[in-house]
Structure 1
Amino acid sequence: MIIQIENSHMSARPGTSLKPRKQPRQARSQATVDAIFDATIQVLLADGLQKLTTIRVAERAGASVGTLYQYYPHKQALLYAVLERHLGRIGATLEEAAASVHGEPLAKMVAVVVRAFVKAKTADMEEGRALYAVVGELDCRPLIALAQQRGRSALAAMLATATDAWFDDLPTVTYMFSTAMMGAMQAVMEGTAPAKLTRALPGQLESLCLGYLERASTPPSRTSR
Structure 2
Amino acid sequence: MKHHSDLDSLMGNGSLPALTPRKSPRQGRSIATVDAIFEATIQVLLGDGLMRLTTTRVAHRAGVSVGTLYQYFPNKQALLFAVLERHLAMLAEAIEKACDENHGATKEMIAEIVVKAYLQAKMAQAEVSPSLYRIAMELDARELMELATRRSAKAIEAMLSTSDGRFADPSLLAQTLTAALYGTVPAFCHRVLSVADGAEAERQLTIMFRSYLVAQQSGIAEAKC
Q: TM-score, normalised by structure 2?
A: 0.84
User: Is contact 1:91-1:147 (8 Å) kept?
Assistant: yes
Structure 1 residue 55, shift from structure 2 partner: 0.8
Counterpart amino acid of residue 162 in structure 1: S
The equivalent residue for 2:177 is 177
Structure 1 residue 159, shift from structure 2 partner: 1.0
- Count of residues in Structure 1 that have an aligned counterpart in Structure 2: 216
The equivalent residue for 1:119 is 120
Counterpart amino acid of residue 161 in structure 2: A
Indicate the RMSD between aligned Cα atoms, in angstroms. Answer: 2.8
Q: What are the within-5 Å matches in structure 2 for residues 25-174 of structure 1? A: 25-168=26-169, 170-174=170-174
Structure 1 residue 17, shift from structure 2 partner: 2.1
Evaluate the alpha carbon distance shift between residue 31 and residue 13 of structure 1 in structure 2; reply closer, same or farther with a 3 A threshold.
Answer: farther
Superimposed CA distance per residue, residues 12-40 of structure 1 (whole angstroms, 9 cap, x where no aligned partner): 87573211111111111111111111111
Counterpart amino acid of residue 200 in structure 2: A
User: Is contact 2:106-2:165 (8 Å) kept?
Assistant: yes
The equivalent residue for 1:3 is none
Cα distance in 1, alignment partners of residues 41 and 121 from structure 2: 20
Q: Is the partner of 1:200 in helix, strand or coil?
A: helix
Match status 1:208 vs 2:208: yes
Cα distance in 1, alignment partners of residues 30 and 198 from structure 2: 39
Bigger mean CA offset, 158-167 vs 21-30 = 158-167
- The unaligned stretches of length 5 or more in structure 2 are none
Q: What are the within-5 Å matches in structure 2 for residues 11-22 of structure 1? A: 11=11, 14=15, 16-22=17-23
Structure 1 residue 128, shift from structure 2 partner: 2.1
Q: Is the partner of 2:22 in helix, strand or coil?
A: coil
- The unaligned stretches of length 5 or more in structure 1 are 1-7
Structure 1 moving runs of 4+ over 6 Å: 192-196, 219-223
Greater relative CO (CA pairs within 8 A, separation 6+) = 1
The equivalent residue for 1:190 is 190
Cα distance in 2, alignment partners of residues 89 and 210 from structure 1: 24
Structure 1 residue 120, shift from structure 2 partner: 0.8
Bigger mean CA offset, 148-157 vs 13-22 = 13-22
Counterpart amino acid of residue 113 in structure 1: V
Q: TM-score, normalised by structure 1?
A: 0.84
The equivalent residue for 1:4 is none
Structure 1 residue 156, shift from structure 2 partner: 1.4
Structure 1 residue 62, shift from structure 2 partner: 0.8
Evaluate the alpha carbon distance shift between residue 44 and residue 201 of structure 1 in structure 2; reply closer, same or farther with a 3 A threshold.
Answer: same
Larger helix proportion of the pair: 2
Superimposed CA distance per residue, residues 33-72 of structure 1 (whole angstroms, 9 cap, x where no aligned partner): 1111111111112222222111111011110001001101
User: Is contact 2:129-2:192 (8 Å) kept?
Assistant: no
Cα distance in 1, alignment partners of residues 131 and 222 from structure 2: 48
Counterpart amino acid of residue 67 in structure 2: G
